[in-house]
Amino acid sequence: MARESLRLDFDFDGLLFVVASQEAEHRLCWGLNRSFGLQLERKDDFLAPVEKNHQHPFPVFECYEEEHFRFWRLLSNKDQNQVLLRDFSAFNYLLIMSGEADGTIAERLLEHLREHRFVQMAFLVDPLRIKNPYVLMQS
């Protein structure tokens, strides 16, 4: 019998940053709110499959920026020895901005992130490069 597979096209309109920080998620959130003028708030944990038949809750902070029609999400990449995106296990957090963004906005945000006192390292990642794109979808 022939094997069939389903292929879904993934389209994400926004930016994905991976962030390394030694700060706790609530402190990083506070710093980003002050620095970027956001209103990130703690939401229900993001349940993600990390092992077969096992989901783990990862802390998440979200807000909607009405002025620019953007949805922001700060998501922990590591929690209690579990890693959400193994490809980026060197980074503690994912900062996701859903909405229209051109190259200049991406560069300015990345520069601003890298200059933030709570951030040791930050990179802009191509969303198509990650193996588990479900983390980019809004709840």
Mind listing the pLDDT tens digit for each residue in 43-67? 999 888 877 778 889 999 999 998 8
pLDDT by residue (tens digit) across 76-103? 999 888 898 888 999 999 999 988 877 7
Whether 5 maps to a domain, the answer reads no
DSSP sequence for 93-116: EEEEEES---HHHHHHHHHHHHHS
pLDDT class for 25, splitting at 50, 70, 90? very high
Q: Is residue 32 part of a domain?
A: yes
- The answer to the question of residue 8 being in a domain is no
Q: Which residues contact residue 73 at a Cβ distance below 8 angstroms, ignoring those fewer than 6 apart?
A: 60, 61, 62, 94, 95, 96, 98, 138
Does residue 133 fall inside a structural domain? no
Residue 2 covered by a domain: no
Containing structural domain, residue 48: 14-128
The answer on pLDDT for 6 being more than 50 is: no
Report the C-alpha gap between 139 and 127 in whole angstroms.
17
The reported pTM is 0.85
User: With contact defined as beta carbons under 8 Å apart, do 16 and 118 qualify?
Assistant: no
How confident is the model over 73-78, as a mean pLDDT? 93
The CATH number assigned to the domain holding 91 equals: 3.30.310
Helix, strand, coil share (%) of the chain residues, nearest 5? 25, 35, 40
What is the number of structural domains in the chain? 1
| pLDDT confidence of residue 119 | 97
Residue 78 lies in a domain: yes
Please report whether residue 119 resides in a domain: yes
Mean pLDDT over residues 8-33, rounded?
87
Q: Which residues pair with 95 in a beta bridge?
A: 17, 74
Measured CA to CA, the distance from residue 32 to residue 14 in angstroms comes to: 18
Decide: 94 and 25 in contact? Cβ < 8 Å: no
Per the domain annotation, does 50 fall within a domain?
Answer: yes
